[in-house]
Amino acid sequence: MDWQTIDWKALERLRSAFLDGTAGARDYWRNDRDLESYDQTFGQRIRWKWDYVLKDLQRRGWEPPRAEAVDWGCGTGIAMRAFLEHFGAEPPSKLVLWDRSPVAMQFAARKAREVFPDISVWLDRPSDHDFGTLLISHVLTELSDEQVVELLGLAVHATSVIWIEPGTHEVSRRLIAARERLRGTFQIVSPCTHQAACGMLTPENDRHWCHHFAPSPPEAFTDGNWARFARLAGVDLRSLPLSFVVLDKRQQPTQSDAVRVIGRPRVYKAHALVLGCDVSGVNEHRHTKRNQPEEFRRLKKGDIPAYLPRCSAG
Ligand SMILES: C[S@@+](CC[C@H](N)C(=O)[O-])C[C@H]1O[C@@H](n2cnc3c(N)ncnc32)[C@H](O)[C@@H]1O
């Protein structure tokens, strides 16, 4: 990480484009310095989210298909690099990096080759043939509904899809809509513990959204440059909210009957209320100090597990 090379003015311009809704309308990447500055800041935060999701997939023994991997809307290619670094022991046969910005595709290709010099990299709009893994990262805020439908048309040609987005209400709701469209074609690997319709879609869950928190590494709290970035970007470095979905056409192991924790539990003196998702839907679960002392202690410390054993709803 070389903070001397960061173009803070470029980051401000990018942030404005992300916030004022113009990012979808036109290509905002001007040059390599824009991309390098993004890659080391916004991109790093996205990388920590990818690490969280990919580590969880590795922990449960999931492996990507060895066939071609596509990073759609690649930007600096941070998603592809994270994917290669986690699963690169058996690298995909070919990488496809696609973005509306040619300068971004070139940058992403260079970075991928730094990690895997021998890998075959293509910079092209993915065609309608079957391929291995589709990576999608932080594009939904820039796409119209019609563009999302087009992207889903590509997704059905993949064997597996790993899709990570910001953890906001609006984006999570769009991702849930995509999950519902793809549910008949794929099995859902994560974060859902079931294959049924998303429990967020009931009227009583309208105000909720499916989001989780990835951990930030220690330097995010101790390095003054990260503090400067946080002020500029208007983000809280302690909190890395994400929405994601992982889909696969291959047979998946039977899922546990644990409850997937959503968002942050509300912890009181002697009990915690956890919004949890399982096959019965999205419900609030009560964990008490008395009946679940171990879980309660973790929650009290702010240690949010991905899953909790099922206990009383209400
Ligand atoms: C916020 S950046 C995210 C980049 C990268 N995926 C990441 O996670 O860091 C969104 C990217 O989507 C690209 N993009 C936006 N609309 C697109 C479209 N219609 N087709 C292809 N790429 C698009 C932008 O050029 C930009 O690189």
What string of pLDDT tens digits covers the 314 residues of the chain?
788 889 999 999 999 999 887 888 899 999 999 999 999 999 999 999 999 999 999 999 999 999 999 999 999 999 999 999 999 878 888 999 999 999 999 999 999 999 888 889 999 999 889 999 999 999 999 999 999 999 999 999 999 999 999 999 999 999 999 999 999 999 999 999 999 999 999 999 999 999 999 999 998 989 999 999 999 998 888 889 999 999 999 998 876 678 999 999 999 999 999 999 999 999 999 999 999 999 999 999 988 999 988 765 55
Atom of ligand 1 nearest to the CA of 136: 6
> Would the CB of 7 count as within 6 Å of ligand 1?
no
> Would the CB of 299 count as within 6 Å of ligand 1?
no
Q: In what order do the strands lie in the sheet with 307-308?
A: 281-288, 271-278, 259-267, 307-308
> How far, in Å, is the centroid of ligand 1 from the Cα of 139?
5
| Structure letter (DSSP) for residue 76 | T
pLDDT of residue 97: 98
Task: Name which residue sits closest to atom 27 of ligand 1, judged by CA.
Answer: 75
Residue at 101: amino acid letter = S
| Site to substitute for ligand 1 among 99, 161, 175, most atoms within 8 A of C-beta | 99
Sequence spans of domains, the chain: 3-248, 259-308
| Site to substitute for ligand 1 among 96, 100, 111, 240, most atoms within 8 A of C-beta | 100
> How far, in Å, is the centroid of ligand 1 from the Cα of 71?
10
pLDDT of residue 312: 55
| Measured distance CA(167)–CA(53) in Å, rounded | 13
> Would the CB of 220 count as within 6 Å of ligand 1?
no
Atom of ligand 1 nearest to the CA of 74: 6
pLDDT of residue 89: 78
Whole-structure pTM value: 0.96
Collapsing DSSP to helix, strand or coil, 77 comes out as coil
> How far, in Å, is the centroid of ligand 1 from the Cα of 279?
33
Q: Which two tokens stand for residue 9?
A: 């003015």
> How far, in Å, is the centroid of ligand 1 from the Cα of 34?
14
> How far, in Å, is the centroid of ligand 1 from the Cα of 102?
11
| Measured distance CA(286)–CA(147) in Å, rounded | 41
| Measured distance CA(296)–CA(270) in Å, rounded | 8
Residue at 257: amino acid letter = D
Task: Name which residue sits closest to atom 14 of ligand 1, judged by CA.
Answer: 73
H/E stretch holding 69 reads strand 69-72
> How far, in Å, is the centroid of ligand 1 from the Cα of 112?
17
For 3-248, CATH number?
Answer: 3.40.50.150
| Measured distance CA(129)–CA(135) in Å, rounded | 16
| Measured distance CA(91)–CA(272) in Å, rounded | 43
pLDDT of residue 293: 92
> Would the CB of 167 count as within 6 Å of ligand 1?
no
pLDDT of residue 115: 85
> How far, in Å, is the centroid of ligand 1 from the Cα of 302?
33
Nearest to 171 by CA among 148, 194, 146, 199: 148
The 3-state DSSP composition of the chain as helix, strand, coil percent (nearest 5) reads: 40, 25, 40
pLDDT of residue 40: 96
Judging by DSSP bridges, how do beta strands 69-72 and 95-98 pair with one another? Answer: parallel
pLDDT of residue 263: 96
Collapsing DSSP to helix, strand or coil, 277 comes out as strand
Nearest to 124 by CA among 70, 67, 160, 66: 70
Collapsing DSSP to helix, strand or coil, 191 comes out as coil
| Measured distance CA(264)–CA(274) in Å, rounded | 7
Task: Name which residue sits closest to atom 10 of ligand 1, judged by CA.
Answer: 139
Give ∠ CA 58-82-178 in degrees, rounded to 5.
80
pLDDT of residue 45: 96
Atom of ligand 1 nearest to the CA of 164: 8
> Would the CB of 108 count as within 6 Å of ligand 1?
no
